Structures are given as C-alpha cells and as structure tokens.
Amino acid sequence: MKKTLLSWSSGKDSAWALHTIRKNPDIDLVGLFTVINEKYDRASMHATRKELLHLQAKAIGLPIETINLPDPCTNEQCDLVMRQFIKESAAKGIECMAFGDLFLEDIRQYRINQLKNTGIESIFPLWGIPTHKLVEEMLLAGIEAYISSVDLKKLPASFAGQRLTTDLIAKLPEGIDPCGENGETHTVIVDGPMFWTPVPVRIGEIIERNGFAYADIIPVK
C-alpha cells in the first residue's frame, strides 16, 4: 500500500476524492494537508476557518497539516513553500499525493510538475468524471455542503451560504459548471459518507471582497 496524503480544500471534491481513495486497496491514506491564507487564517479560496478544518479532519479520522502562505503571495513564494512541504513529506515516507481536480489540465500539469523528481506520485481519483454525473452521485450519497465563495463575475452573491442541493444546481445559469470547477463557486462540506460524524455549522456574515462573495461558515459548539 502506498503511503498517501490528500490535498484537502475543505470542499466537496476533495471529500469525494477521499471517499474514492478509501476504496482503493493499494492506497494507505495517512493524512490531509491544506493551504492557509496567513492574513485571514482561513483555507485559500474556500475561506474555511482553521477551526472548521480541524473539526472536519477529526470527523474524517485523519490528521491534518496546514501550510501557511502570505497574502499577497507571488507564484515564486508559493512554489518555495510547497517545495519545502513536499521535501519534508518525502522524507517521512510519503509516496503519493492525491488531488480532487476534475478537468482543468493546466492545474493537473502544475501539480505533476511540482512533484516531478521528488519520489512522490500525483494521483487524481476524480479526473475526467463528467461533473453533472459527479455532483449527482455526491448528493445521492448524502453529502452536506455549503457554498462558501462565489465569483461575482459569474454568479450573484445570493448563492453564497446556500446549501448545495439538486434544486440549487438547477438554478445555475447556462455555462456554469455544477461542481464549480472553473472557480464559479467553492464549497465547505460538513457531512457525508466519508465522515464518521457530521460537523454542525451555521451560516454567518456574507461579505464581498476582491470580486468574490464569501459566506462565513461557523462551527456550532
């Protein structure tokens, strides 16, 4: 079994990648890693509170490591931080890193290049699955996820904070990917078949910043 880390965005796609990987007898999934915006102390793009990330990991039953990036952050700074994390992971015996990417070839190639000549293999368990089919499968399996960020060039702010449902997907305008793979939306998942227990949350303030609407998804204690 290959010792593997999963890139954990906190959203539905990385969660479904985890669910898929756990069915693979060749993979030993030993942990998660998430990139954190140091300025806001939240997961990048998804804007997930660090506290919620740790609650997700606990509900999944895996340790999580957070990787801090400055804001603003150049591509060079990001690459340097990630190269160091990859180097440390290889030294710990990690053989694979898994990602929940769906169809964007440039992102897939970027990840492959990051791991080139490191001794760590990149794997993409959801790659190429039609996104309409994928999101339908997730919802039928009982995932509970909320839209945490919305690109305001593509969708109105009213989508932020909404629970992901079949009805909500039906309201998406033509040309919007149902999984948000083009950056239209990002989600935070709080329950599903990959969770041992659900993570109770409430939807807090919706703010607009830098062309995005962000919903504050707050753990309920």
Query: Does one domain contain both 89 and 171?
Result: no
Tell me: the pLDDT tens digits for 165-193?
999 999 999 999 999 999 999 999 999 99
Query: Does one domain contain both 43 and 114?
Result: yes
- With a threshold of 0.85, does the pTM exceed it? yes
Count of domains for the chain = 2
pLDDT beyond 90 at 126: yes
**Can you tell me which residue has the tokens 């290959």?**
2
Helix (H, G, I), strand (E, B) or coil at 21: helix
Question: Where does 67-181 have alpha helices with state H?
Answer: 75-91, 105-115, 131-140, 166-170
Q: What are the structure tokens assigned to 142, written together?
A: 């009982």
Distances in Å between the alpha carbon of 143 and those of 34, 62, 165?
Answer: 20, 18, 9
CA distance 60 to 198: 9
Query: Does one domain contain both 14 and 92?
Result: yes
Query: Does one domain contain both 194 and 111?
Result: no
Tell me: the pLDDT tens digits for 81-104?
999 999 999 999 999 999 999 999
CA distance 15 to 78: 24
pLDDT beyond 90 at 45: no
Q: Is 89 exposed, middle or buried (0-12, 13-18, 19+ CB in 10 A)?
A: buried
| Domain enclosing residue 166, as ranges | 131-219
Query: Does one domain contain both 21 and 84?
Result: yes
pLDDT mean over 9-26: 97
Return the closest-CA partner of residue 57 out of 1, 109, 18, 113: 18
Beta strands at 201-209 and 121-123: parallel, antiparallel or unpaired: unpaired
CA distance 141 to 135: 10
Return the closest-CA partner of residue 157 out of 211, 203, 202: 211
Residue after which a domain boundary falls, among 74, 103, 123: 123
Residue 84 exposure: Cα atoms within 13 Å on the Cβ side: 8
pLDDT beyond 90 at 3: yes
The widest CA-to-CA distance across the chain, in whole angstroms, is 47
Q: Confidence band (pLDDT; 50, 70, 90) for 71?
A: confident
Query: Does one domain contain both 8 and 91?
Result: yes
Residue after which a domain boundary falls, among 70, 103, 123: 123
Q: The CATH number of the domain where 172 resides is what?
A: 3.90.1490
pLDDT beyond 90 at 221: no
CB of 219 within 8 A of CB of 200?
yes
Query: Does one domain contain both 19 and 117?
Result: yes
Q: What is the DSSP string of 123-167?
A: E-TTTT--HHHHHHHHHHTT-EEEEEEEETTTS-GGGTTPBP-HH
Q: The CATH number of the domain where 66 resides is what?
A: 3.40.50.620
Residue after which a domain boundary falls, among 90, 106, 123: 123
